Chain A
């Protein structure tokens, strides 16, 4: 079950191009009229809307309404000092990039200005090219700030959504358990057989919670890079045979056949054995869970000169086209299949492991016929002597 009721809107946006939402306005604050005019001329030509101000206070008053992307500020002005103007501009609007003009070209003043929040400085006298260069560099800096700000926000939204999902996933079984216990406590003389049945259900639902937590922890370890960091020689065929062996009983319950078609060739990869195990375990469990009674699970291992290709095929319900894009997303579950127990994290984990190992995972499926998941991993190479 998904919980997108509380999901913030617009979280699906990719981290593509950063949108500049402001008009390309640059302000120039300088008491020297000739300087104002020449700056205006150069920057207008470069495509900016330019507003000039004779004093710091006049410029500051305009910041809130003009919302400039950049301010060129003369450091030496009568009235409010350039240094103070810099600080006050950022009090009003921290997103404005400030470039200072310094008349007496001492490095100390420039450094002081940068400490106060200016991004860069241009010493007088300067050529039109120098001004353009410094302004463009300032704007590049602004784009970087906006981009990192946006990336930060996207991460935050994703995290919040993830927490909402996990909470809901945990809450569903907890609600069921709570209600059983509450009703049992409430009944004067509950039927012992019923009590027994309900306690069993409570235990089953507890296991569901444990599975979610286990998957969640695996995922967060993968995210932190602590799980998939190890790179040792892992025999893919051996791991697959072990997994298939461990599911014989489960498959037998639904009269499923587990078939392995392994190449004779050596099929080792570089990775962490437990991660590789989790990766294939998830695929094989799915192939069993979402199969039809009497169906078949076929695990094939092939090798190309560079790659090991593992396919896990089932004869199950198939995955409708519309769901294939979302299949590997955390907590995604096909609506029609919600009755089958699952955490919605298995494929997300498998995908994460595969990408950590520099491989790829894909799916082919036909509704009503079955699905095949194919994993490609780089073949093991003996370290050069």
Chain B
């Protein structure tokens, strides 16, 4: 990787963000944080992250899904459509199953689900893998 990849962590729990940030920075990534869906979307367009870690339950139970949906379908995010998204959730049922009935489930499926609490190794492995396979590095805004 030529430049340090930037990971955006969208989670409403500041402690969860803090531990993820430290772990990823320790692994050489640059980390930016957002404490909610709206702030997260703002940072997606402003800072053009290379990967997004997205908590499912924030302002409302499915706030994470609305973020994923916006990135994939809203016009202003057209430049970020291929940014890999890892969704984080502490609910026991697989969110994939939970939302399988929804016609939109296909539209908001992330690249990967990880269960909270996150396992440090599983997280760093997943981040590394998804950043490797991305088709082309996201073009930085500046």
User: Residues on A close to B: CB < 8 A?
Assistant: 1-6, 168, 171-172, 174-180, 182-183, 185-187, 194, 198, 201, 205, 335, 338
- Which of A175, A186, A194, A335 contacts B117 (CB under 8 A)? A175
Contact of B19 among A174, A180, A335 (CB under 8 A): A180
A25 CA to B16 CA, complexed, in Å: 60
A168 to B13: give the CA distance in the assembly, Å. 13
Query: Given contacts A3-B57, A176-B15, A335-B60, is CB(A182)–CB(B119) below 8 Å?
Result: yes
Q: Which residues of A contact B15 (CB under 8 A)?
A: 176-177, 179-180, 201, 205
Bound CA–CA A229/B138 (angstroms): 66
Min CB–CB distance B127 → chain A (angstroms): 14
Q: How many residues of B contact A (CB 8 A)?
A: 26
CB distance from A4 to the nearest CB of B (A): 5
Once A186-B120, A194-B22 are accepted as A-B contacts, the answer to whether A179 and B61 lie under 8 Å apart by CB is no
Chain A residues with CB under 8 Å of B60's CB are: 2, 335
B residues near A (Cβ < 8 Å) are: 12-13, 15-16, 18-20, 22-23, 26, 57-62, 90-91, 93, 98, 116-121
Within the assembled complex, what's the spacing in Å between the Cα atoms of A95 and B28?
67
Contact A6/B118 with A179-B20, A183-B19 known, Cβ cut-off 8 Å: no
CA of A335 to CA of B37, assembled, Å:
13
Give chain B residues whose Cβ lies under 8 Å from the Cβ of A180. Answer: 15, 18-19
Residue of A nearest to B99 (CB): A5
Nearest A residue to B16, CB-CB = A176
Give every chain A residue within 8 A of B118 (Cβ-Cβ). 179, 182
Distance A61 CA – B63 CA, assembled complex (angstroms): 53
Contact, CB under 8 Å: A182 / B57: no
Check A175/B91 contact, CB under 8 A, given A3-B61, A182-B117, A186-B121. Answer: no
13 sampled A-B residue pairs with Cβ under 8 A: A1-B57, A1-B58, A5-B98, A6-B93, A171-B90, A172-B13, A172-B90, A175-B90, A179-B15, A180-B18, A182-B19, A182-B117, A338-B59
* Minimal beta-carbon separation of B14 from chain A (angstroms): 8
- Chain B residue with Cβ nearest A5: B61
Task: Give 12 new A-B contacts, CB below 8 A, not counting A187-B23, A205-B15.
Answer: A1-B57, A2-B61, A5-B61, A175-B90, A176-B13, A176-B16, A180-B19, A182-B119, A185-B120, A186-B121, A198-B18, A338-B59
